[in-house]
């Protein structure tokens, strides 16, 4: 799947089904394995052990992991949930981290894999942060209900832009699926996750006006007031491969940052 051949106005739920066939596999005992391209430690969240999965159901034009994980499928390696658990614990223990996460591609594509991994972490002291675009959770409230069973879980829903129009511009997906991202927050709150603490929105704002951002916060407040108060504001980081992707897609961020954290208003 190439960044250059993805059709505009695609259905990210149907794309998830296609990607799932490439990046997951089921064993005879019912275990779902998932492709990962790396495991690492990092400074985010004050220090966290990360497993970067391969495969995503969106094609964001600012994606930092498009080369290895999201826009194109690479070989990677298949791992059982138990193997991922051991790798993340090993990294966290060695570095003194108290949190772990899945990132890179879209973790929720491998539902059974994620739920089993959460089960393994349930009896530990680690916080498990699930980074997701939320679309599959928004489309199926039972997914949110299953996730809400795990007490050490935090869900970070990464919203692509501030409106249906921006969502389409950034992802090329059908604009209506922006509402699925918002619905995932509602489903998770309704399932019992505490808004602002155990579920919260992150929003890509590099391409948004202040007016559109305020309109989004009004929509978030309509789900729960705390969601509009606890927004993790995201901005493009201009890694060389991100700049290449932005140019390929004709996107110019209003606000962006160089890898060193220096503001950069234009590419």
Task: List the structure tokens of 65.
Answer: 């992991």
**The pTM is what?**
0.92
Looking at residue 266, its pLDDT comes to: 47
Looking at residue 6, its pLDDT comes to: 63
219 contacts: CB under 8 Å, gap ≥ 6: 182
Looking at residue 66, its pLDDT comes to: 82
Nearest CA to 148 out of 106, 108, 182, 118 is that of 118
| DSSP at 36 | E
Give average pLDDT by consecutive 10-residue segment, the chain, 267 residues.
61 96 90 96 94 95 83 83 98 97 95 98 96 98 98 97 98 97 98 97 97 98 96 94 93 91 59
Q: Domain 12-264 class?
A: alpha beta
Nearest CA to 156 out of 181, 177, 180 is that of 181
Beta bridge partners of residue 158, listed in sequence order: 202
Looking at residue 88, its pLDDT comes to: 98
Number of C-alpha atoms within 13 angstroms, CB side, residue 82?
1
Looking at residue 263, its pLDDT comes to: 65
Nearest CA to 172 out of 1, 3, 46 is that of 3
Looking at residue 228, its pLDDT comes to: 97
């Amino acid at each position: 799947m190439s960044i250059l051949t993805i059709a505009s106005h695609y259905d990210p739920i149907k794309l998830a089904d296609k990607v799932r066939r490439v990046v997951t596999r089921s064993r005879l005992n019912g275990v779902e394995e998932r492709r990962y391209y790396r495991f690492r430690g990092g400074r985010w969240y004050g220090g966290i052990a990360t497993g970067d999965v391969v495969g995503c159901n969106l094609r964001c034009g600012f994606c930092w992991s498009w080369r290895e994980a999201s826009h194109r499928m690479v070989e990677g390696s298949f791992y059982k949930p138990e193997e991922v658990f051991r790798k993340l614990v090993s990294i966290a223990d060695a570095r003194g981290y108290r949190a772990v996460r899945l990132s890179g591609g879209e973790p929720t594509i491998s539902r059974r894999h994620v739920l089993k991994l959460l089960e393994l972490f349930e009896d530990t002291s680690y916080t498990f942060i699930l980074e997701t675009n939320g679309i599959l959770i928004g489309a199926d409230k039972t997914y949110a209900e299953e996730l809400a069973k795990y007490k050490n879980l935090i869900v970070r829903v990464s919203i692509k832009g501030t409106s249906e129009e921006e969502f389409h511009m950034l992802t090329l997906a059908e604009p209506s699926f922006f509402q699925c991202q918002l619905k995932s927050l509602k489903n998770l709150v309704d399932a019992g996750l505490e808004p602002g603490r155990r579920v919260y929105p992150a929003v890509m704002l590099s391409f948004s006006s202040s007016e559109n951002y305020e309109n989004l916060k009004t929509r978030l407040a309509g789900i729960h007031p705390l969601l509009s108060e606890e927004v993790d504001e995201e901005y493009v980081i201009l890694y060389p491969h991100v700049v290449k992707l932005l140019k390929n897609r004709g996107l110019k961020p209003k606000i962006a940052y160089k890898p060193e954290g220096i503001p950069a208003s234009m590419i």
